[in-house]
Structures are given as C-alpha cells and as structure tokens.
Amino acid sequence: MQELGKLEDLPQHYRDELQALNLVPLWPSLRGVLPPGVPARQTRPTCWAYQDIKPLLLQAGELTPIEKAERRVLVLANPGHGLEKMQASAAIYLGMQLLLPGEWAPSHRHTPNAVRMVVEGEGAWTTVDGEKCPMQRGDLILTPTGLWHEHGHDGTAPVVWLDVLDLPLVYYMEASYHINGDRQHTHTGRGDRQHVRAGVAPTRVFERSHKAYPVLRYPWAETRASLLSLAADDPALECVQVTYINPETGHDAENILGFYALMLRPGQSLRLPARSPAQVFHLIEGAVQARITDSTFRLAEADTCCVPGYEAVTLTNLHAAQPAFVFMADESPLHRKLGVYENRG
Ligand code: GTQ
C-alpha cells in the first residue's frame, strides 16, 4: 500500500498557517480514520466478575446515601476507551445499580434509552411512564428514550441490576440530557400482562394504542420458558436465541441497542459469526466460557463481558447436564439503521 505523506513532511510555517485557520491536512490521518479492511476498535474485550463488583457496590451503599447519588451505580468501563469515558463499547454503557430496602431513586427522564436486567434481590420496582414494573431476577425492564422512570424498593434485602444504555452514542451526538420530575402517579394496566404468549396482541377496536412501547417489562419466567420451548421444538436448532421485540411492531424493543436471550444446551459450543456490532454477554444461569481470537472469559452467574465488533465469539456451556442462559446486548439496530451492519461469517 502507498505510504502517505506525514505531518512532519510539511514545512512548519505551512502547518502554522493551516492551524491558525482551523484547517487540517487529511493525508497524514487518512489511514487512521479509514484503516485497511477492518476498523480500528478501542473497545477491548473485557470481563467484570459479579463477585468483585458486589462487595464494592454494597460499600457504596454505606458510603453514599441514595440522596447523594440519585442512581447508585458502579459503571463497567472499558479500559480501551479510557475509564473516564464510562463506556463499554462505542455505543454501549453498562452499570451495576444498587437499591437498598426503603430507598427511592427519584423520577427523571432522559434522551438515552436504558434497560435493566435484574441480577438479584426481591421487592424492588421501576415505574416507567406510570406503569409499576416489579423487578425479579432475570426480568428485562425498558426505560426508552423520553419516558419518566423511578426506582423503589419495598423488600428487605439489597437489590442489584445491570443497566444497559446507549448513553455513549447519545452523548457523542451531543443529544444527551435529563429532566427531573415528581413522583409518578401509577396507573393500572401492564403491558407484560397484555402481551403474554401465543403470538396474540390486544385488539384495538375503539382506539389505537398511543404507546410507542406497549411492553416495558419482559418477565424472565416467560423468556426462559420460550427458550426451553424453542429448544425442545427443534433439537437440531443450533442457535437457541430470542430477540426482545416490541410485539406490536415486531421490531427491536428499543431503537439503538438490541437485546436477546440465548440458551446453550448442556455441553453445547456455539460459534457466533463475526459481525460489525460490539456485543455484551451477561450470564443469567449456569457457567459459560466466551472465547474470541485473543481472549477467553469464564462467566459465572451475574458476570458480564463485552467484545468488540468484527469478532467471532464462541460460547461454551461448561455444564454437561444443564442448560445455560445468557442475556445479550448489541449495537445491531444502530448498525442496521445506519447501513453499516456486516456479517463476515
Ligand atoms: O437508573 O435512571 O446506570 O439515569 C445511568 C443513568 C442508570 C437510571 C444509569 C441513569 C440510570
């Protein structure tokens, strides 16, 4: 490949003149922004063990009252991006949030989309747009862009969940902001009760649903049962995976990030092809190894890892007799919308 001219090849007076006029020569940086064949990725394969996070999160519970935190979160930051950037990948933010019994994380809304994956504890709830969603282990709860949300806890033991947001992207777009609000009035009616199973959705004879997000809570019991049913229906099916969708549109549950649940059969090894979006794996149940070209992670329950895009990932269920269940998040809705999605096999 042709070697391109360097900045140092240019006379200093010329460089100074350009700089004074806010001008930059492209050619010294051309290969940097358009590298050959594969993008440069700052996202480093990184794993966070829940056994490391939990004691530090509980300490945060003692050190910082909820009033001083609003959201008591330890961010799972990718060192490849610099920890201060608080991003797991180009578009994905991950955080572990702690709420103690009796605490309340006040209502706010913001432009980034969020979801919660409940890791442990009973008795907490998130109210989204007036809908009070109970939080049980493995449940996925959406707080899509612009919707009011607050978290509360009527139980007796700490509750922890994983937050997944598209904050890095929305911040990069200079479109990230929040508005604080008052405690929400809750209403009856819950999307997770209206859209339960069998591929049916409520018939809107009298008025169309005005809700862009008809389902805000995806109970783990239902998702787990779907995976077991999918696996039993087709014993030859290799990728036993479901996508969290908006049941009234059939599209991804949120606009920017995609969310999935995957079951690995006992002892199964599954190679996921190299695709352009970065991915996150969070183990709900079992023991799983995640391997990419230069890294191998062993995930115990509640552990989380992220891998950059353009990497094939091989997931292996380390148990020979029980299935494993993995929650996944990726950037594919974003990549597809932007027309840069690739599957390289
Ligand atoms: O619970 O609303 O991890 O606003 C980061 C920002 C959680 C939340 C985060 C947030 C929240």
Q: Which of 56, 41, 176, 153 shows the shortest CA–CA distance to 105?
A: 153
Q: How many CB atoms lie within 10 A of CB 322?
A: 15
Confidence (pLDDT) at 235 = 97
pTM for this prediction: 0.97
Q: What is the pLDDT along the chain (345 residues), one digit of tens a residue?
A: 789 999 999 999 999 999 999 999 999 999 999 999 999 999 999 999 999 999 999 999 999 999 999 999 999 999 999 999 999 999 999 999 999 999 999 999 999 999 999 999 999 999 999 999 999 999 999 999 999 999 999 999 999 999 999 999 999 999 999 999 999 999 999 999 999 888 888 888 888 778 999 999 999 999 999 999 999 999 999 999 999 999 989 999 999 999 999 999 999 999 999 999 999 999 999 999 999 999 999 999 999 999 999 999 999 999 999 999 999 999 999 999 999 999 999
Question: Which residues does ligand 1 sit against, CB inside 6 Å?
Answer: 71, 73, 95, 97, 110, 114, 149, 163, 165
Alpha helices in the chain (DSSP H): 12-20, 30-33, 50-63, 167-172, 191-194, 220-233, 332-338
- Residue 71 C-alpha to ligand 1 middle, in angstroms? 6
Atom index in ligand 1 nearest the CA of residue 126 equals 1
Confidence (pLDDT) at 207 = 80
Atom index in ligand 1 nearest the CA of residue 178 equals 4
> CB of 224 within 8 A of CB of 325?
yes
As given in the structure block, the two tokens for residue 237 are 């099916």
User: Right CATH number for 46-202+210-338 from 2.60.120.10, 2.60.120.620, 3.10.150.10, 3.40.50.300?
Assistant: 2.60.120.10
